């Protein structure tokens, strides 16, 4: 075991541990695939490294367009035009100076386009270690360059026609008819005066086409580079050296079902039920299962102290033993045990240090959630992502797997969040420590049996707590291994 003060274990530490590890099955699994290489590579870099073949030109330039994603992108672009014009009118109504009004309307439409593209068009793309701010800035740059590209294309087309047919309306005429320099710059078809003729419209359409081509392609490969739910699915893993931590509070209806369901999927894993002295006897039911199956363990705690405290105790318990992969898992069947072999396989194959079961990447989602619960969850993740500058799309989710090294180095003794925010804090600390986070799609159905422990206080804690987390500065990090 490595004290937190040593930071992440170095290569030498791993080798030493290899020599001293008492449980052979752990050593075989952990070291046979060269875990010592765990580093700071981003998921997208990792994808690049693992692919031996360079993508062909067709795959890079043509394929991205042959998908619904491109149709969505165009719809979002059109919605941006509506937003732009709506705000332009609105600001003009307020008698804002016309250039300022145009600039603000354009910026608002860029931001709205970005948010819709982020949560709809490019859902499932990006890199989990890239912050929303970076993506937003990239989108801004792409949009501005795109507008210039569109304008230049328009000028070129218009000039070409101008040279061959002198009687068509000239660019200068159109120019002088536009209201503001921004309108002139953007050459928006909707602000063109009616008397300038079809050639201008045609040039504009071609310009818009080329601008859209540019915007989409560059956003695809730069702003949201990489597939979050990558095709890096590795072999299914049997769960050796893995601990599945299941916190419970009044889960009597669920606990006797979820534990066997988990062990059926990962038969060599162990399960730790962490019960906070549930009044409904969940702890005793878990004890009975532990008596019958040596893979089941129970940690009894004095009383209900929140999910965070329960997990911290479970992690401590895991680190005192030889578990190499540690999972968080809910008792209420919102987390499907069928994902476990693949997720454990990804950690085992060194595809990531933190595996996030994500409802917000392609293929993921929620089932039977009310609209307001969806909104709270979506808004909560977005809010935390903006405040903390994190890349993961599902920060509040509780189906996460960690390599042992992560839990050893993220200073668990300093974790302060107890409720919802606990999940955010763990991910934040892991990212700050330079660990690789990989999001994999999960479908999350609402609980069928038992009662929810989610309440307003837990939500309120999260809203305030994320700001406090910002104090976890890189300066507080321990020195990284060379």
Ligand X SMILES: Nc1nc2c(ncn2[C@@H]2O[C@H](COP(=O)(O)OP(=O)(O)OP(=O)(O)O)[C@@H](O)[C@H]2O)c(=O)[nH]1
* Neighbouring-strand partners of residue 272: 245, 297
Single residue of 124, 207, 306, 357 touching ligand X by CB under 6 A: 306
* Choice between 332 and 394, CB closer to ligand X: 332
Judged by CB under 6 A, which stretch of 79-87, 91-99, 272-280, 466-474 contacts ligand X? Answer: 272-280
Our finding on whether 78 is near ligand X (CB under 6 A) is no
Which one among 304, 321, 362, 478 touches ligand X, defined by CB under 6 A? 304
**Residue 84 or residue 248: which is nearer to ligand X going by CB?**
248
> Is residue 310 part of the contact set for ligand X (CB under 6 A)?
yes
**With CB cut-offs between 5 and 8 Å by kind, which of ligand X, Mg ion, none does residue 391 bind?**
none
Residues linked to residue 274 through DSSP beta bridges, in sequence order:
247, 299
Mark the segment that binds ligand X (CB under 6 A) among 9-17, 326-334, 347-355, 356-364. Answer: 326-334
276 touches which of Mg ion, ligand X, none (CB within 5 to 8 A by kind)?
A: ligand X
Residue selected from 282, 334, 423, 465 as contacting Mg ion according to rule CB under 5 A:
334
Task: Determine the interface stretch with Mg ion among 7-15, 275-283, 295-303, 440-448 (rule: CB under 5 A).
Answer: 440-448
Give a three-class secondary structure readout of the chain: CCCHHHCCCCHHHHHHHHHHCCCHHHHHHHHCCCHHHCCCCCHHHHHHHHCCCCCCHHHHHHHHHCCHHHHHHHHHHHHHHHHHHHHHHHHHHCCCCHHHHHHHHHHHHHHHHHHHHHHHHCCCECCCCCCHHHHHHHHHHHHHHHHHHHHHHHHHHHHHHHHHCCCCCCHHHHHHHCCCHHHHHHCCHHHCCHHHCHHHHHHHHHHHHHHHHHHHHHHHHHHCCCECCCCCCCCCCCCCCEEEEEEECCCHHHHHHHHHHHHHHCCCCEEEEEECCCCCCHHHHHHHHHHHCCCEEEEECCCCCCHHHHHHHHHHHHHCCCCCEEEECCCCCCCCHHHHHHHHHHHHCCCCCEEEEECCCCCCEEECCCHHHHHHHHHHHHHHHHHHCCCCCCCCCCCEEEEHHHHHHCCHHHCCCCCCHHHHHHHHHHHHCCCCEEEEECEEECCCCCCCCCCHHHHHHHHHHHHHHCCCCHHHCCCCCC
**Which range, of 1-9, 299-307, 423-431, 433-441, touches ligand X by CB under 6 A?**
299-307
Extract the tokens encoding 209. Answer: 């086409």
Q: Is 322 in the site for Mg ion (CB under 5 A)?
A: no
Closer CB to ligand X, 22 or 303, in the complex: 303
Q: How far is the CB of 399 from ligand X (least distance, A)?
A: 10
Indicate whether 274 belongs to the interface with ligand X (CB under 6 A). Answer: yes
Locus of tokens 């603000």: 104
Site string for Mg ion, 166-205 (x = CB under 5 A): ----------------------------------------
- What is the pattern of x (binds ligand X, CB under 6 A) and - over residues 428-447? -------------------x
Site for ligand X contains 350 (CB under 6 A): no
Q: Which of residues 219-248 bind ligand X (CB under 6 A)?
A: 247-248
| φ, ψ for residue 400, nearest 5 deg | -135, 145
Distance separating alpha carbons of residues 365 and 328, to the nearest angstrom = 18
Q: Which of 129, 183, 229, 251 binds ligand X (CB under 6 A)?
A: 251
User: What is the smallest separation between the CB atom of 334 and ligand X, expressed in angstroms?
Assistant: 5
Can you give the C-alpha Rg of the chain in angstroms? 27
Alpha-carbon gap, residue 321 to 326, rounded angstroms: 11
Measured from the CB atom, the residue of 321 and 447 that comes closer to ligand X is: 447
Q: How far is the CB of 365 from ligand X (least distance, A)?
A: 15
Determine which residue in the list 332, 425, 439, 461 makes contact with Mg ion, applying CB under 5 A.
Answer: 332
Which of 66, 371 has the CB closer to ligand X?
371
When CB distances are held under 5 to 8 angstroms depending on the partner's kind, the choice from ligand X, Mg ion, none that residue 408 binds is none
Nearer to ligand X, 414 or 451 (CB): 451
Residue 360 or 433: the one with the smaller Cβ distance to ligand X is 360
Least distance in angstroms from the C-beta of 252 to ligand X:
10
Partner whose footprint covers residue 170, from Mg ion, ligand X, none (CB < 5 to 8 Å by kind) = none
Minimum gap (Å) between residue 85 Cβ and Mg ion? 44
| Cα four-point dihedral sign 355, 358, 364, 365 | positive
Of the candidate residues 200, 331, 421, 431, the single one contacting ligand X (CB under 6 A): 331
Could you list the residues that contact Mg ion (CB under 5 A)?
330, 332, 334, 447
Could you list the residues that contact ligand X (CB under 6 A)?
247-249, 251, 274-276, 304, 306-307, 310, 330-332, 334, 398, 447, 452-454
């Amino acid at each position: 075991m490595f004290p937190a003060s040593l930071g992440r274990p170095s290569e030498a530490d791993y080798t030493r541990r290899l020599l001293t590890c008492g449980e052979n099955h752990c050593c075989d699994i952990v070291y046979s695939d060269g875990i010592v290489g765990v580093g700071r590579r981003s998921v997208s870099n990792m994808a690049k490294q693992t692919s031996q073949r360079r993508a062909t030109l067709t795959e890079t330039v043509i394929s991205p367009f042959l998908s619904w994603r491109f149709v969505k992108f165009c719809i979002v672009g059109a919605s941006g035009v509506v937003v732009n014009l709506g705000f332009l009118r609105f600001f003009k109504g307020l008698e804002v100076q016309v250039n300022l009004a145009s600039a603000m309307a354009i910026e608002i439409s860029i931001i709205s386009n970005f948010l819709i593209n982020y949560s709809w068009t490019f859902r499932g793309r990006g890199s989990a270690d890239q912050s929303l701010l970076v993506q937003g800035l990239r989108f801004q740059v792409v949009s501005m360059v795109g507008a210039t590209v569109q304008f230049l294309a328009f000028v070129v087309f218009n000039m070409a026609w101008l040279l061959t047919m002198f009687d068509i309306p000239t660019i200068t005429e159109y120019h002088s008819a536009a209201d503001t320099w921004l309108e002139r710059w953007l050459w928006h078809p909707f602000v063109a005066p009616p008397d300038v003729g079809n050639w201008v419209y045609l040039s504009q359409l071609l310009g818009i086409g080329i601008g859209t081509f540019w915007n989409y392609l560059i956003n695809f490969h730069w702003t949201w580079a990489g597939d979050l739910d990558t095709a890096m699915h590795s072999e299914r893993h049997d769960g050796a050296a893995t601990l599945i931590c299941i916190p419970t509070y009044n889960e009597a209806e669920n606990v006797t079902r979820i534990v066997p369901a988990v062990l059926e999927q990962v038969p060599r894993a162990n399960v730790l039920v962490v019960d906070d002295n549930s009044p409904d006897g969940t702890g005793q039911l878990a004890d009975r299962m532990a008596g019958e199956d040596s893979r089941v363990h129970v940690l009894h705690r004095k009383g209900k102290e929140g999910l965070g405290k329960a997990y911290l105790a479970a992690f401590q318990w895991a680190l005192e033993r030889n578990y190499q992969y540690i999972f968080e898992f809910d008792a209420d069947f919102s987390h499907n045990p069928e994902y476990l072999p693949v997720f454990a396989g990804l950690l085992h194959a060194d595809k990531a240090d933190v595996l996030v079961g994500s409802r917000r990447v392609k293929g993921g989602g929620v089932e039977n959630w009310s609209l307001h619960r969806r909104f709270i969850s979506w808004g909560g993740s977005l809010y935390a992502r903006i405040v903390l500058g994190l890349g993961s799309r599902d920060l509040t989710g509780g189906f996460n797997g960690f390599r042992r090294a992560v839990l050893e180095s993220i200073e668990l003794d300093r974790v302060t969040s107890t409720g919802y925010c606990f999940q955010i804090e763990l991910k934040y600390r892991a990212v700050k420590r330079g660990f690789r986070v990989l999001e994999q799609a999960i479908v999350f159905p609402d609980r069928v049996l038992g009662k929810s422990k989610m309440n307003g206080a837990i939500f309120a804690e999260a809203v305030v707590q994320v700001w406090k987390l910002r104090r976890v500065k890189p300066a507080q990090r321990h020195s990284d291994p060379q």
